[in-house]
């Protein structure tokens, strides 16, 4: 029918013909009139986004799996406009299946619009995939809900986040963005801004404590050599010890639980082949990073405070910050 007759989407929207509009979302059965059909589908999704009728949720969820990226983007945006929590799980699933670029941004923005922090927190706890965890953390950090503070802090303390701060690299935010989320620079930059609000100004000190190991790498005669320096992280803990709040105590409790971590370095080593010609070979070096001094500093400060213990509810209380 679409080959011979183009439905009037504007008229259908004025009549609130949700069922008719959702029928237009179906993928084309053949490619003979593909361009017109795709344009019609995009129009229909835009109309459903404006109507904000919950009857459109299921068809729009199905459109998240469409082979056309523009359809995915529009469907996610429409679900965000409708704001129905039934869309949260499918959006999280879409977020974790590797959609990139504008699809990722639209899915993240839809989840932020719906605002179901609990589901995102649970997904972050359950996920074992690092790439998925990063996407969920980006989304949670953009939500602005104080419930997200503790899971975001725990995520930052993951050993793989070590080394986000690298010597001689631009500003603090640029280091963080460049080293962590190169594919999502604009999203990451906005996330760093949101993090400042979410963590009430504790963002930089937490990032420095959790991720502040500097790697110095230099080339010697026959190989590359590296050095680790925890000065940035250690100094941030000293600053935290001067902040007498429950949230500061919570972060110190997190430092006490910090385990030693192994970092990998990519380097080069000079070798000589059978023909006598020298060449450089890629190498991987593993280095154990010990946090005993940090744990001791945190334990001693907590003892001076009367060993308050970790209070997760404090993140939700304004006067605890």
* 294 and 152 housed in the same domain: yes
Question: What is the per-residue pLDDT for 99?
Answer: 62
Q: Beta strands 278-289 and 214-219: pairing type? A: unpaired
Q: How many CB atoms lie within 10 A of CB 98?
A: 12
102 part of a folded domain: yes
Q: Tokens 């990998």 belong to which residue?
A: 264
Please, which pLDDT band fits residue 224 given cuts at 50, 70 and 90?
Answer: low
Please, which pLDDT band fits residue 75 given cuts at 50, 70 and 90?
Answer: very high
Closest CA to 315 of 246, 239, 266: 246
137 part of a folded domain: no
Structure tokens at 54: 């919950």
Q: Which of 115, 132, 159 represents a domain boundary (last residue)?
A: 115
CA distance 225 to 163: 16
What is the arithmetic mean of pLDDT over 182-191? 55
Question: What is the per-residue pLDDT for 195?
Answer: 81
12 part of a folded domain: yes
130-143 and 101-114 helices, crossing angle to 10°? 50
Identify the weakest region by mean pLDDT among 7-21, 72-86, 129-143, 169-183. 169-183
What is the arithmetic mean of pLDDT over 267-296? 81
- The total domain count for the chain is 2
3 compared with 76, residue with greater pLDDT: 76
| 263 beta partners | 287
pTM of the model: 0.79
Question: What is the per-residue pLDDT for 225?
Answer: 60
Do residues 38 and 69 make contact, with C-beta atoms less than 8 angstroms apart? no
Do residues 223 and 271 make contact, with C-beta atoms less than 8 angstroms apart? no
Q: Could you tell me the CATH number of the domain that includes residue 65?
A: 1.25.10.10
What is the arithmetic mean of pLDDT over 205-222? 72
Closest CA to 307 of 261, 257, 249: 249
* 62 and 185 housed in the same domain: no
CA distance 200 to 194: 10
321 part of a folded domain: yes
Do residues 70 and 46 make contact, with C-beta atoms less than 8 angstroms apart? no
Identify the weakest region by mean pLDDT among 89-98, 146-155, 235-244, 281-290. 281-290
* 91 and 208 housed in the same domain: no
Do residues 75 and 94 make contact, with C-beta atoms less than 8 angstroms apart? no
Question: What is the per-residue pLDDT for 221?
Answer: 55
**Torsional class of 50: left (φ above 0), alpha (ψ -120 to 50), beta (otherwise):** alpha
* 222 and 320 housed in the same domain: yes
18 part of a folded domain: yes
Question: What is the per-residue pLDDT for 227?
Answer: 67
Question: What is the per-residue pLDDT for 27?
Answer: 83
The torsion angles phi and psi of 222, rounded to 5 degrees, stand at: -120, 0
126 part of a folded domain: no
The boundaries of the domain holding residue 62 are 1-115
pLDDT in tens, 285-321: 777 889 999 999 999 999 999 999 999 999 999 999 9
Identify the weakest region by mean pLDDT among 56-70, 130-144, 163-177. 163-177
Is the pLDDT score of 33 beyond 80?
no
The torsion angles phi and psi of 278, rounded to 5 degrees, stand at: -80, 145
207 part of a folded domain: yes
Q: If you compute the radius of gyration of the chain from its CA atoms, what whole number of angstroms results?
A: 25
CA distance 62 to 16: 21
Do residues 208 and 232 make contact, with C-beta atoms less than 8 angstroms apart? yes
222 compared with 141, residue with greater pLDDT: 141
141 part of a folded domain: no
* 297 and 212 housed in the same domain: yes
* 257 and 298 housed in the same domain: yes
Average pLDDT over the chain reads: 83
Percent of the chain whose predicted confidence (pLDDT) is above 70: 81
Question: What is the per-residue pLDDT for 245?
Answer: 97
Identify the weakest region by mean pLDDT among 44-48, 98-102, 144-148. 98-102
Please, which pLDDT band fits residue 182 given cuts at 50, 70 and 90?
Answer: very low
Closest CA to 177 of 196, 167, 168, 190: 190
* 174 and 320 housed in the same domain: yes
Cα 131 off chain centre by: 8
Looking at residue 223, what DSSP letter applies? B
Using DSSP's 3-state secondary structure scheme, residue 253 falls into: helix
Identify the weakest region by mean pLDDT among 10-14, 42-46, 139-143, 273-277. 273-277
CA distance 105 to 73: 8
Question: What is the per-residue pLDDT for 172?
Answer: 42
Using DSSP's 3-state secondary structure scheme, residue 287 falls into: strand
* 258 and 164 housed in the same domain: yes
């Amino acid at each position: 029918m679409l080959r011979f007759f183009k439905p009037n989407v504007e008229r259908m929207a004025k009549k609130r013909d949700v069922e008719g509009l959702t029928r237009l979302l179906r993928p084309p059965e053949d490619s003979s009139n593909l361009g017109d059909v795709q344009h019609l589908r995009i129009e229909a999704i835009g109309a459903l986004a404006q109507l904000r009728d919950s009857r459109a949720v299921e068809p729009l969820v199905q459109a998240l799996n469409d082979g056309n990226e523009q359809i995915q983007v529009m469907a996610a945006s429409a679900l965000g406009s409708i704001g129905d929590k039934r869309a949260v799980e499918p959006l999280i699933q879409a977020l974790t299946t590797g959609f990139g670029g504008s699809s990722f941004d639209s899915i993240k923005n839809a989840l932020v619009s719906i605002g179901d922090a609990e589901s995102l927190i649970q997904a972050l706890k359950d996920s074992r995939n690092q790439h998925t965890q990063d996407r969920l953390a980006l989304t949670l950090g953009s939500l602005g809900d104080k419930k997200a503070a503790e899971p975001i802090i725990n995520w930052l303390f993951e050993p793989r986040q070590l080394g986000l701060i690298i010597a001689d690299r631009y500003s603090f935010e640029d280091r963080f963005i460049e080293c962590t989320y190169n594919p999502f620079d604009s999203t990451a930059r906005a996330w760093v801004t949101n993090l400042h609000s979410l963590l009430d100004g504790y963002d930089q000190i937490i990032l420095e404590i959790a991720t502040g190991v500097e790697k110095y790498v230099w080339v010697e005669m026959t190989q590359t050599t590296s050095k680790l320096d925890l000065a940035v992280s250690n100094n941030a803990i000293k600053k935290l010890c001067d902040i007498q709040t429950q949230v500061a105590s919570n972060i110190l409790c997190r430092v006490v639980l910090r385990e030693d971590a192994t970092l990998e370095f990519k380097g080069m080593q000079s070798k000589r082949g059978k023909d006598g010609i020298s060449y450089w070979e890629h190498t991987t070096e593993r280095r154990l990073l010990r946090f005993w001094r940090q744990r001791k500093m945190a334990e001693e400060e907590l003892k001076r405070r009367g060993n308050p213990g970790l209070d997760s509810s404090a993140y939700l209380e304004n006067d605890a910050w």
